[in-house]
Structure 1
Amino acid sequence: MPVSGENETSRRHVYGRTKGKALRSRQANLMETLFPRVSISLEEKQIDPRPLFGGVKEVWLEIGFGGGEHLAHQAETHPEIGIMGCEPFLNGVAKLVSEIDARSLSNVRILNDDARFLLERLAPASLARVFILYPDPWPKKRHNKRRFMNPETLGFLARALKPGGELRFASDIPDYIAWTLAHVSRFNRENGETFVWTAECAADWRTPYKGWPGTRYEAKAIREGRTPCYLSFLRI
């Protein structure tokens, strides 16, 4: 699905699939009727997300929401919060749109594309919380550069998160957890103290976030014997 107002010559490469099996009839219908009303346009060079929702208390962002179960839970639990979600995989977007319809959620907006297109346009200090949950680990060393957590995206996140804002990163892949901590530490060294890891003891990163509903990726990891890790960073 193309992105409005975008120069195709400057598009970043989106790794991985962007479409799977054919949508069910209800999903296809909702993508035609409901999705355009909740879709985020990238026509503006700078986006202030609050007007997208009306009178919300603050705005959160989930990057790579998969099937949308976590995002839908957060939106239903926190109707006073505007929640944006980015997901390039069309079938995942269709699942979330179905949840928006089924739960009558009015506080969700979606970008069906790479989150970096939105991050680079967001107004400074416009987000109060960002979720990056079980991102693709790209385990082969030659593919590590495809990982979402890198100096460029940390720069976007540092600009978009307001002081005191929270970045949540969950993964079941030890190498990606270490990679993330190392990249945050390096970003702080090179740019001044920006993100503070909030953990004080091992239980802090072994314990799910408060109000955590779980995700299907987490359930799969636990079934297969892997241990999830829950990192939290504060923007200072």
Structure 2
Amino acid sequence: MSDHELPKTRSGEPRAFFGRRSGKTLHGGQRALVDDLLPQVEIRLEGELDPKTLFPDARRFVIEIGYGGGEHLARKAAEEPETGFIGCEVFTGGIGKMVGAIEAGALANVRLFTDDALKLLTVLPAGSIDAVYLLYPDPWPKTRHHKRRFVSPTTLAELARVIRPGGLFYFATDIEDYANWTLAHIVRAPEFAFNPDAPGSWHLPYPGWQPTRYEQKARREGRMTSFYFRFERSVAEAQP
């Protein structure tokens, strides 16, 4: 198997999530909130999923893959109430924090998917999403684990299919090797264009950016440089 190909499940389907799903046990109040609220906002897949059915009044649709503690997702949802946000996360601690943020902020424009994000991408209609965020994903630093990285030809093909022409794929990391890995995949994907404003501009945070908890931890540990890439879904490549 090539390092650029995703491993498959026993049924032969590609998978893009690896690792643990749970950590510390949720405390009583958080557990009760998850039990009560998660069923109301959780996405259950039953065939093709049109995001318009989740957010009938939304003007835009955005996905965040691996939202961690949910700081970025909750902030963006509060800032853009006219946008429908889908957050993908499998780690129970992150899900618990995001459910709490939904409750605290009365965020009616957020839905959560708690399984492998690739499963969600494959059932979305073509051109149905305006933007996708993949912020500080697990870098899987060991060479033998590189095939577990979320960015791959398989996932990029699905992202290119679901992101509308002119839409954006945001990717941020503090791991230079993963930044190089992602750029190497993007240059092989004609569906996406990388047009930085100036050399090195990819080290500048996105407009309005607020550091996530993970980014703050990285800075404390001495990883002072991040890469904030923005890839545009090419209009020409999206045409038949």
Instruction: Tell me if both proteins adopt one fold, taking TM over 0.5 as the criterion.
Output: yes
SS of residue matched to 1:113:
coil
Alpha-carbon distance between aligned partners in 1 of 2:112 and 2:230, rounded to the nearest angstrom:
24
1:209 partnered with 2:206? yes
Tell me the residue number matched to 1:191.
Answer: none
Aligned AA for 2:40?
R
Q: Contact between 2:64 and 2:88, CA under 8 Å: does it hold in 1?
A: yes
Aligned AA for 1:211?
G
Tell me the residue number matched to 1:4.
Answer: none
Tell me the residue number matched to 1:179.
Answer: 181
Q: CA deviation at 1:31?
A: 1.3
Q: For the aligned residues, what is the CA RMSD?
A: 1.5
Alpha-carbon distance between aligned partners in 1 of 2:208 and 2:36, rounded to the nearest angstrom:
32
Tell me the residue number matched to 2:226.
Answer: 228
Q: Contact between 1:137 and 1:173, CA under 8 Å: does it hold in 2?
A: yes
Alpha-carbon distance between aligned partners in 2 of 1:75 and 1:109, rounded to the nearest angstrom:
10
Question: Cα deviations across residues 171-219 of structure 1 (Å, max 9, x unaligned)?
Answer: 000000000000011122xxxxx11113132342011101112101111
Tell me the residue number matched to 2:163.
Answer: 161
Tell me the residue number matched to 2:126.
Answer: 124
Q: State which drifts further: 152-161 or 9-18.
A: 9-18
Greater relative CO, 1 or 2 (CA 8 Å, sep 6+): 2
- State TM-score, norm by structure 2: 0.90
Q: Structure 1 stretches of 5 or more lacking a match?
A: 1-6, 189-193
Q: Contact between 2:206 and 2:228, CA under 8 Å: does it hold in 1?
A: yes
Question: Cα deviations across residues 80-134 of structure 1 (Å, max 9, x unaligned)?
Answer: 1000010111111111000000111000000011100100111100100100000
1:26 partnered with 2:29? yes
SS of residue matched to 1:187:
coil
Alpha-carbon distance between aligned partners in 2 of 1:171 and 1:233, rounded to the nearest angstrom:
14
Q: CA deviation at 1:77?
A: 0.7
Call closer, same or farther: CA 1:43–1:167 in 2, change over 3 Å.
same
Aligned AA for 1:17?
R
Q: Which runs of 4+ in 1 moved over 3 A?
A: 7-14
Aligned AA for 2:133?
F
Aligned AA for 2:46?
E
Q: Contact between 1:221 and 1:228, CA under 8 Å: does it hold in 2?
A: no
Alpha-carbon distance between aligned partners in 1 of 2:220 and 2:98, rounded to the nearest angstrom:
24
Count of matched residue pairs: 224
Alpha-carbon distance between aligned partners in 2 of 1:225 and 1:201, rounded to the nearest angstrom:
26
- State TM-score, norm by structure 1: 0.91
Paired-residue identity, %: 48
Alpha-carbon distance between aligned partners in 1 of 2:186 and 2:151, rounded to the nearest angstrom:
9
Equivalences for residues 76-225 of structure 1 within 5 A: 76-188=78-190, 194-225=191-222
Q: Structure 2 stretches of 5 or more lacking a match?
A: 1-8, 235-240
Equivalences for residues 53-92 of structure 1 within 5 A: 53-92=55-94
Alpha-carbon distance between aligned partners in 2 of 1:14 and 1:231, rounded to the nearest angstrom:
22
SS of residue matched to 1:233:
strand
Question: Cα deviations across residues 4-25 of structure 1 (Å, max 9, x unaligned)?
Answer: xxx9956647311101111011
Q: Contact between 1:73 and 1:213, CA under 8 Å: does it hold in 2?
A: no
Q: Contact between 2:16 and 2:149, CA under 8 Å: does it hold in 1?
A: no
Call closer, same or farther: CA 1:8–1:101 in 2, change over 3 Å.
farther
Q: Contact between 2:77 and 2:85, CA under 8 Å: does it hold in 1?
A: yes
